[in-house]
Amino acid sequence: MSQASETRKLYAFERMYIDPIDHEQRGEWPMWRLRDLAQHIWSYEAPDNWYPPEIKAGRGVKMGDKYVSYCLGRSEIVLARDQRFPSILVHEVAHALRNGDVNHNKWYTRRYFTLLVKYLDYNPLLLYHYARENGVAV
């Protein structure tokens, strides 16, 4: 599967299954709370000699007709104005924990799902079931 195809499938999956839970049940979080979550995840998941990324509020990067959040290696995560939800932060932290690798392959997806389960209490059986059902590489 091509990188572009993997990305499209994961983003579609997130819109159908992750976003509704995050947006309806948790709501948008203030930046201080997202920074605390990122620091908490980083303290348990990253190697000891890695500094945590700086979590910033920003415009994001234009993708199609909207601005989206992004990760710059391990150093910085920028959360776009309308994307300050915990699952979006976890998505970007998963990239940072993979040295900023932008691929959405099965190794990335497994790491991302592990973080969603461990830190945001997502149901692992449902995540993997719906991901497979929607062609997401897991």
Three-state secondary structure call for residue 106: helix
- 11 and 137 in contact (C-beta within 8 Å)? no
Architecture of domain 3-133: 2-Layer Sandwich (3.30)
pTM attached to this predicted model: 0.93
- Give the chain's mean pLDDT: 93
- The pair of three-digit structure tokens given for residue 59, joined into one six-digit string: 């415009």
* 11: number of Cβ within 10 Å: 17
Q: Is the pLDDT of residue 25 over 90?
A: no
For residue 4, name the pLDDT band (cuts at 50, 70, 90): confident
Please state the domain extents for the chain: 3-133
Q: How far apart are CA 129 and CA 136, in angstroms?
A: 10
Residue 99: the pLDDT is 79
- 104 and 82 in contact (C-beta within 8 Å)? no
Three-state secondary structure call for residue 76: strand
- pLDDT tens for 77-125 read 999 999 999 999 999 999 999 977 788 999 999 999 999 999 999 999 9
